[in-house]
Amino acid sequence: MQPILKSAKLANVCYDIRGPVLARAKQMEDEGQKIIKLNIGNLASFGFDAPEEIQQDMIRNLPNSAGYSDSKGIFSARKAIMHYTQEKKIKGVGLEDIYIGNGVSELIVMAMNALLNHGDEVLVPAPDYPLWTAAVSLSGGTPRHYICDEGAGWLPDLDDIRSKITDNTRAIVLINPNNPTGALYPDDLLREIVEIARQHQLIIYADEVYDKVLYDGVTHTSIGSLSEDVLTITFNGLSKNYRSCGYRAGWMVVSGDKRHAQDYIEGLNMLASMRLCANVPGQFAIQTALGGYQSINDLVAPGGRMRRQRDLAHELITAIPGVTCVKPKATLYMFPRLDPKMYPIADDQQFICELLEAEKVLLVQGTGFNWPHPDHFRLVFLPHEDDLREAIGRIARFLDGYRKR
Ligand code: PLP
């Protein structure tokens, strides 16, 4: 029998957050071992419940949710998203400019598929949320990674961005607030990125799915609010801000000068129609979520659970010799660095696997986020404080042994 091979389109597609190390962890769990998971930003599984009123609203609307909706989404949800974009000062967004999807994930793939031809390049941050790199590759484009500078609090390096623009560059991806680094970008930097996009006629793809998960009183600016001409597609959803990843409710909003983008917009409309519509019960949660009590604010405020866990995880991880870490201003993640002199790691996936086997703690290796060196890992600080203490204690013990090798 001929082996059945995966398509050549998948040759450069990689999504390591749910890759081979997770498969090994599942196997260990099946054998009865207990693993502390600092690997995935799945809030509900750590007792961060979705707001009660969203749940009730979905239940109430379930009888009305059995049919397909408009491909772009139900009216009430798109109206609420339109108001939200107005709150974020993104100008000129009408109902037709809003697309609801099965999470932001589906829309990222859709947006790339509608745009890219072979040879087209997209600027993607390194490190990134790896779906972006994967979606560019899957759509036949070439991801070109620009460096975010750890020494500058993980802000995008503008010179690196400029140096990587070619005649084939079509777009730039910005993940702000950033997964995996927890960075939040200041307005002057965003303005410079808008200017680069304007000069080189790039589309800006702005992934803002953590725009309410902010610590220390910082505020978030949507890059889409900083220009009325540059075509900008802003992504957001319920998964993180409203702790409801499983409801699969996300959206994208097209802003800027759309007159020269009609053909691309037709492409988006066609892809949205081809998948008929997004999960309708999840869409019913959107209006209540955006208009209701913003309980996320309690979690990130001083004394709130997320904020306490961020502080504890950062304090404990940076107390380990040779581990440094930019303190996240936002999100659920930090991206610590292991001093290569003390930890000469050649293959960081193997390193993470050894940690898992030895200490039953699961992390994701930095190269899984398209970081070019094997000297970082991502830590999710969602587990309760006791579990974080236990997990980071085990990481410290493992690293102690690693240094003595
Ligand atoms: N974008 C970023 C930066 C993320 O971290 C995630 C999920 O972790 C997503 C998008 C996907 O979100 P969704 O659940 O809306 O598909």
The Cα 202–Cα 145 span in angstroms is 15
Number of Cβ atoms within 10 Å of the Cβ of 56: 12
The Cα 28–Cα 21 span in angstroms is 11
* The two three-digit tokens of residue 39, written as one number: 């690997």
The Cα 34–Cα 170 span in angstroms is 46
pLDDT band at residue 12 using 50, 70 and 90 as cut-offs = confident
- Ligand 1 center–CA 346 separation, angstroms: 29
- Ligand 1 center–CA 209 separation, angstroms: 6
- Note whether residue 32 is domain-resident: yes
What percentage of the chain has pLDDT greater than the value 90? 95
Asked whether 136 and 142 are in contact (CB, 8 A), the reply is yes
- Give the residue from 258, 291, 324 where a domain finishes: 291
pLDDT, tens digit (0-9, with 9 covering 90-100), for 110-155 = 999 999 999 999 999 999 999 999 999 999 999 999 999 999 999 9
272 lines ligand 1 (CB under 6 A): no
182 lines ligand 1 (CB under 6 A): no
| pLDDT above 80 (res 195) | yes
pLDDT given for residue 177 in this prediction:
98
Say yes or no: 385 and 240 in one domain.
Answer: no
Q: Average pLDDT, stretch 278-301?
A: 96
The Cα 128–Cα 368 span in angstroms is 9
pLDDT band at residue 19 using 50, 70 and 90 as cut-offs = confident
- Ligand 1 center–CA 175 separation, angstroms: 10
Distances (CA, A) of 330 to 77, 212, 236, 247, 381: 26, 8, 15, 22, 12
Asked whether 295 and 288 are in contact (CB, 8 A), the reply is no
Asked whether 210 and 236 are in contact (CB, 8 A), the reply is no
pLDDT band at residue 13 using 50, 70 and 90 as cut-offs = confident
Say yes or no: 261 and 318 in one domain.
Answer: no
| pLDDT above 80 (res 329) | yes
Closest Cα to residue 360, out of 45, 33, 46, 40?
Answer: 33
Say yes or no: 118 and 217 in one domain.
Answer: yes
pLDDT given for residue 11 in this prediction:
85
241 lines ligand 1 (CB under 6 A): no
- Ligand 1 center–CA 278 separation, angstroms: 16
What predicted TM-score, i.e. pTM, was given to this entire model? 0.97
Asked whether 381 and 304 are in contact (CB, 8 A), the reply is no
- Note whether residue 1 is domain-resident: no
38 lines ligand 1 (CB under 6 A): no
| pLDDT above 90 (res 341) | yes
- The preferred substitution site among 40, 81, 102, 104 for testing ligand 1, maximizing ligand atoms within 8 Å of CB, is 104
Task: For residue 375, give every residue at least 6 positions away whose Cβ sits within 8 Å of its Cβ, in sequence order, or none.
Answer: 337, 338, 339, 340, 343, 345, 348, 366
- Note whether residue 174 is domain-resident: yes
Asked whether 181 and 154 are in contact (CB, 8 A), the reply is yes
- Ligand 1 center–CA 111 separation, angstroms: 14
- Print the domain residue range for 157: 52-291
Say yes or no: 37 and 136 in one domain.
Answer: no
pLDDT band at residue 15 using 50, 70 and 90 as cut-offs = confident
CATH code of the domain containing 153: 3.40.640.10
- Note whether residue 67 is domain-resident: yes
Q: Average pLDDT, stretch 79-87?
A: 98
| pLDDT above 90 (res 203) | yes
* The two three-digit tokens of residue 349, written as one number: 């996936």
- Note whether residue 354 is domain-resident: yes
- Note whether residue 126 is domain-resident: yes
The Cα 113–Cα 248 span in angstroms is 20
Q: Which atom of ligand 1 is nearest to the CA of 40?
A: 8
Q: Average pLDDT, stretch 259-283?
A: 97
pLDDT band at residue 404 using 50, 70 and 90 as cut-offs = confident
- Beta strand pairing call for 121-126 and 249-255: unpaired
* The two three-digit tokens of residue 3, written as one number: 């082996």
* The two three-digit tokens of residue 32, written as one number: 């009865």
pLDDT given for residue 9 in this prediction:
87
Sign of CA dihedral 102, 105, 109, 110: positive
- Ligand 1 center–CA 184 separation, angstroms: 16
Interface predicted TM-score of the whole assembly (ipTM), two decimals: 0.99
- Give the residue from 229, 256, 291 where a domain finishes: 291
- The preferred substitution site among 129, 251, 382 for testing ligand 1, maximizing ligand atoms within 8 Å of CB, is 129
- Ligand 1 center–CA 373 separation, angstroms: 24
- List the Cα angle 296/300/303 in 5-degree steps: 125
| pLDDT above 80 (res 60) | yes
- Give the residue from 291, 326, 346 where a domain finishes: 291
State the chain's mean pLDDT as an integer: 96
pLDDT band at residue 199 using 50, 70 and 90 as cut-offs = very high
Say yes or no: 44 and 62 in one domain.
Answer: no
CATH code of the domain containing 332: 3.90.1150.10
The number of distinct structural domains making up the chain is 2
- Ligand 1 center–CA 129 separation, angstroms: 8
pLDDT, tens digit (0-9, with 9 covering 90-100), for 232-268 = 999 999 999 999 999 999 999 999 999 999 999 999 9
pLDDT given for residue 306 in this prediction:
97
175 lines ligand 1 (CB under 6 A): yes
For the beta sheet containing 377-380, the strands, ordered from the edge strand earlier in sequence to the opposite edge, are: 333-334, 377-380, 364-365
pLDDT, tens digit (0-9, with 9 covering 90-100), for 149-189 = 999 999 999 999 999 999 999 999 999 999 999 999 999 99
- Note whether residue 385 is domain-resident: yes
331 lines ligand 1 (CB under 6 A): no
179 lines ligand 1 (CB under 6 A): yes
DSSP letter at 88 equals: T
Q: Which atom of ligand 1 is nearest to the CA of 210?
A: 3
